[in-house]
Structure 1
Amino acid sequence: MRYFTETAKYLFVICTITLTGCNKDSRTGPEDNGASPNILLIIADDMGKDATAGFAEGNVKPNTPNIDGIRNKGVSFNNFWVYPTCSPTRASILTGKYGYRTGVKWANDLLGSSEPILHQYLKENTEDAYATALVGKWHLSGNENTMFNPETLGMDYYAGLLRGGVESYYQWMLTEDGHQSTQTAYITEKFTGLAIDWIKAQDRPWFLWLAYTAPHTPFHVPPAEMHTQGNLPEYMQGISALPYYLAAIEAMDFQIGRLLNSLPDAERENTVIIFIGDNGTPNLAAQFPYSNSTVKGTLYQGGINTPLFVSGPGITRIGEQDDHLVGSTDLFATIAEVAGISSPEINDSKSFKPLFSGEDSNRDFQYSEMNDGASDLWAISDGQYKLIVNANGGQEMYDLSTDPYEGNDLLAGILSSGQLAAKERLQIELDRIRD
């Protein structure tokens, strides 16, 4: 049984300049010139494959020339797993640990202050060679702690939104350096401006985690120059949310272009860019082949298999797609290795940096989980078979090679000997992970 939780004018000239800047053929990586690369991690909030160009899922795509530029100048990972909601995905990246180890398994769960985070790890293991920052959505302080300063965990700078969302994209509470102020600027634009200002102030290699709230609800219309979805009226319940959702993505892409254009050519060419969606599309904007019960908030592919693009110095596979297994936890070790730290495995994190140049991967299984207080579930896959286990004893199993959108639960019938062996392997690995 399935479970579930819950055209304006575009600035074409600017976009053309952006694409030109993002598509330079001459690139020199740290291996070539000895310079440590900058690292830019961009997180889109609630952006699934069905809303992302470059994937077969979804019939209507937003116009995203800048995100497309990242994908086209690097590697697109087809089998990237996250968590069904945003907080555990963010915690898994920040700590390199699975959610059951940190206690962050659902939206609004609290990440303990004793957990070592990626920013601090970079500083301690590069002799403070990297400046580190997090701009944008935090969502790891629970519901109550509205005065928390993430800088106390070991990053140089934090500015953004502590909570998981806003009531208005045009009126929201900014926390910067531990101080709060009410903002009326469009939140996606403001986050970008803060990121640009911080980067300009750096005189050493930097790691910036830029976490947009877009395209998460509410479906508020962006400034007209940032999207191509037409003259949208104020969103009201009962009308299609899709154009509003796509408009928010286009506005985010517009701002990503603004950020990339702000970088001098040499700095841009020495920056590794990682773009991800933190979980699947929300049900109000989900497109075929996903349904309301297989997107955000679920352990089905529409909830946890999201976009991952990587481009920049050291990435020699230009415009390629990769089918190796990757998880959000793996971003910790990967970013550390990009920064020059020789630790291919850290906590539950396995670096996938070798995949940048066509080498092999050391990950044989993917893992995700959720616990929303009512359902406690885990998922594991070897790339072909996927097993979902409920703490109440229920199980589901799918062959993703023939049934990629999980329409046929193999456990509803009689398993073949090969399927039985696969189920046993998955169960053994799941038990090992959760031991």
Structure 2
Amino acid sequence: MTRYTMRLFSTLCVMAGGLLSALFFSTTAMGQSKPNIVFILVDDLGNADVGFNGSTYYETPNIDSLAGSGLVIENAYMYPTCSPSRTALATGKQSFRTGVYTVPVLEKGNDQQNIFSRWTVGEEHTMYSQPLADAGYKSIHIGKWHLVGPYPKEELAMEFPLKEKLRQPDPWDFSWVSYHKEYCQKYYPEGRGYLKNVGGTYRGDPALEVGGYQSKTGGYFAPFSNPFIEPKPDDQWLTDRLTNEAIEFIDQHSEGPFFINLHYYTVHRPIRGRSEKLVEKYLKKSGDPITGQGTGKGKLKRTEAEYATMIESLDENVGRLVKFLDENGLRDNTLIVFTSDNGQNVGRNDQLRGKKGYIYEGGIRVPTFVNWPGKVDARRTSTAVTGLDLFPTFMDVAGIKYDGVLDGQSITGLFQGEPESLRTRPLFWHLASCYKHGACSVIRKNDLKLIQFLADGKLEMYDLTNDPREQRNLAETNPEQTQSLLKELVDWRESNDVPLPPGSVLQ
């Protein structure tokens, strides 16, 4: 064999070896190309209700550890109530596309002040679970659903816009159950690509007993009255049971890819102390003078302590779930997303204005992080992100080319960088019905936030960097910036044919 032949043979061997190595790596990569996803959505958890955002009263060591090794999104936003937030998350669409503007039973005013909200998300709106299922994901929905109304067939047959707001039965009225189980599954998780639904109903809270919020268990202590939770002998506490379901499903589908839609009912009212021992612990604990957490007196002090035990229980269960992933070698190929559907309701945060129901920061800014070992840098980002971004992010992570209408952007670029396209884009809200305040449209861009109330056109503008509590309305003192943002907001409405309440002066 000549030297040239030997060199050629050696080169071919190296190339063949490299090709085999590449094929092996490609096969391995293909096996891991669709990572597992765990989406933890907490109900009514305020931005400062966790240690990683500064709370010294509430105790969240497991959540803080996960956040500390992941990407904390300091300016993460939702709608101010659960129905539009959960609809936007599930569909990736703005409220004006789905007609879900708030929780229907909460609306105030008449049909001139409101475009009364829909409740049921129609089949024409694809949810992220459906393309994930098509791509091979084994998915489960656990906990709060709230994407179907009590009477979906009648609701969807109504002429919109409605003349009156939608209603719901009393919590202990189960006359809807057989109708839902027999005829309405297409509006439930199983009709949306999930293999199983544990606990998801039309209800926005777990209190399905006689008395509702005034009942003894509040839906958090067993026996649960939820018709979509099958009783088990070891049932004690709802948050524990829902976590058990997540762990059991992961164990059954550990080969992956799996998607866990873990949407806890906690910390939504009614507030219940996890145990008297834990309540006493927080009653004795000093409050936080910066946020105001734990500084109440009398009955309020006890409510705050009970609320704190619900947060501690949440943290304990997140820790259990992560421990299971770790012990079973699943963490490295699992993206965990943690957030809340709106700002605090029972909780308190004196650093931000407003709470659940308000378009101010306390109502829409939520505690959020993503964690994925080796794929997400451990840091904090001030880039603003919205719940609308999660649908395209899930598609991006799963390698799915989705061509449906989406109003958000994938945030995978933030995992290890700061893309200009995310950092400088505007965020929009449109609330066409009234709850805590009048209907309004909002734009947030470059840390400036402009609110236009739709009834009379009144404007409010705030500098969120220098005035996070939104105390100084700059709409009149900074007319140039105000008009620039207003033009962008109006252009957005007009280009998207966004509807206004009939009585709006902006018609």
Q: What is the TM-score with the length of structure 2 in the denominator?
A: 0.71
Match of 2:129 in 1: 119
Match of 2:140 in 1: 133
Residue aligned with 2:315, SS: helix
CA-CA distance at 1:48 after TM superposition: 1.3
Residue aligned with 1:350, SS: coil
- Give deviations 1:14-40, integer Å, cap 9, x for gaps: xxxxxxxxxxxxxxxx96974421000
- Give deviations 1:81-123, integer Å, cap 9, x for gaps: 1011111111111101011211221125222233211111112
**Aligned partners of 2:267 and 2:129: how far apart in 1?**
25
Residue aligned with 2:74, SS: strand
CA-CA distance at 1:60 after TM superposition: 4.1
Match of 1:96 in 2: 92
1:330 to 355, 378, 389: 389
Residue 367 (1) aligns with residue 463 (2): no
**Aligned partners of 1:224 and 1:315: how far apart in 2?**
41
Q: Is the 8 A contact 1:276 1:306 kept in 2?
A: yes
- Give deviations 1:202-232, integer Å, cap 9, x for gaps: 1321011100111111110114687884479
- 5+ residue gaps, structure 1, are 1-29
Q: What is the TM-score with the length of structure 1 in the denominator?
A: 0.82
**Aligned partners of 2:83 and 2:149: how far apart in 1?**
9
CA-CA distance at 1:362 after TM superposition: 2.9
Aligned letter for 2:463?
Answer: D
Aligned letter for 1:251?
Answer: S
**Aligned partners of 1:237 and 1:136: how far apart in 2?**
32
CA-CA distance at 1:185 after TM superposition: 2.7
Residue aligned with 1:421, SS: helix
Distance 1:248 1:410, change over 3 A: same
Distance 1:261 1:136, change over 3 A: same
Residue aligned with 2:477, SS: coil
**Aligned partners of 1:79 and 1:432: how far apart in 2?**
26
Distance 1:140 1:210, change over 3 A: same
Residue aligned with 1:66, SS: helix
**Aligned partners of 1:139 and 1:120: how far apart in 2?**
17
Q: Is the 8 A contact 2:443 2:485 kept in 1?
A: no
Distance 1:216 1:229, change over 3 A: farther
Distance 1:432 1:245, change over 3 A: farther
CA-CA distance at 1:384 after TM superposition: 1.9
- 5+ residue gaps, structure 2, are 1-27, 105-118, 151-167, 169-175, 208-217, 285-296, 499-507
Q: Is the 8 A contact 1:337 1:344 kept in 2?
A: no
How many pairs does the alignment contain? Answer: 392
**Aligned partners of 1:400 and 1:112: how far apart in 2?**
36
Distance 1:225 1:33, change over 3 A: farther
CA-CA distance at 1:194 after TM superposition: 1.1
Distance 1:369 1:53, change over 3 A: farther
Q: Is the 8 A contact 2:132 2:395 kept in 1?
A: yes
Distance 1:290 1:414, change over 3 A: closer
Q: Which has the larger radius of gyration?
A: 2
Match of 1:15 in 2: none
Match of 2:505 in 1: none
Residue aligned with 1:121, SS: helix
1:242 to 304, 311, 315: 304
CA-CA distance at 1:324 after TM superposition: 1.5
**Aligned partners of 2:344 and 2:395: how far apart in 1?**
29
Match of 2:411 in 1: 352
**Aligned partners of 1:180 and 1:331: how far apart in 2?**
30
Residue aligned with 2:382, SS: strand
**Aligned partners of 1:220 and 1:142: how far apart in 2?**
26
Query: Normalized per residue, which structure has more helix?
Result: 2
Match of 1:321 in 2: 380
CA-CA distance at 1:372 after TM superposition: 4.5
Distance 1:225 1:269, change over 3 A: farther
Query: Normalized per residue, which structure has more strand?
Result: 1
- Give deviations 1:294-317, integer Å, cap 9, x for gaps: 111010011001111001145341
Distance 1:419 1:274, change over 3 A: same
Distance 1:415 1:361, change over 3 A: closer
